[in-house]
Amino acid sequence: MSDAAPAHTLAHPILTDDYATEWMGLRVLDLGEGTATVATTLRREMLNGFGIAHGGMLFAIADSAFALACNPHSPDEDQASSITVAAGVDVNFLAPAHEGERITAVAARRAHAGRSGIYDVQVFACPDGHPHTPAEPGRLVAEFRGRSRTIPRR
């Protein structure tokens, strides 16, 4: 991890035993009402045979940001009886990302009606060690639009 990368990670109840997010090394940089920002560094196990980020790995990073944005980080009693999951996603891959780059995914709620929601997640890549600020997250590599559905917790 570069000196420029934020080392902290915020707590969120859905991250307990989230082994995929842990495997990806995601750090939670920011959480708000319907928003979340996560970041990680692109490792070799996240590359495809063309030597660039596997689309599924960029998707997985965005999907974790989406889940963090659409589930409350401090659920009240009412919210604790349900979970919000991805019903579907439309994603566009705009540019390749490379090993060692820092990937940042910024999720924000766009619309909400009843138990359905729409969240946009933008995925950015920037060279590791590059000064990284929320205002300059790097170049846009994917646009992810998630459709959420709130369902009873089993």
Question: Which residues contact its own copies by CB under 8 A?
Answer: 13-23, 44-51, 54-57, 59-64, 67, 83, 85-95, 110-111, 113, 116, 118, 140, 143, 145, 147
Identify the three-state secondary structure at position 114. Answer: coil
Of 39 and 59, CB closest to its own copies: 59
Of 29 and 42, CB closest to its own copies: 42
Minimum gap (Å) between residue 62 Cβ and its own copies: 8
Minimum gap (Å) between residue 3 Cβ and its own copies: 27
Minimum gap (Å) between residue 42 Cβ and its own copies: 11
In whole angstroms, give the CA distance from residue 31 to residue 39. Answer: 12
Of 5 and 47, CB closest to its own copies: 47
In whole angstroms, give the CA distance from residue 17 to residue 27. Answer: 15
Of 16 and 133, CB closest to its own copies: 16
Of 5 and 91, CB closest to its own copies: 91
Question: In Å, how far are 25, 57, 152 from 47, measured between CA atoms?
Answer: 15, 8, 36
Minimum gap (Å) between residue 86 Cβ and its own copies: 5
Residue carrying the six token digits 């997250």: 137
Question: In Å, how far are 70, 80, 116, 137 from 76, measured between CA atoms?
Answer: 14, 6, 19, 32
Buried b (16+ CB within 10 A) or exposed e, 94-107: eeebeeebbbbbbb
Minimum gap (Å) between residue 1 Cβ and its own copies: 20
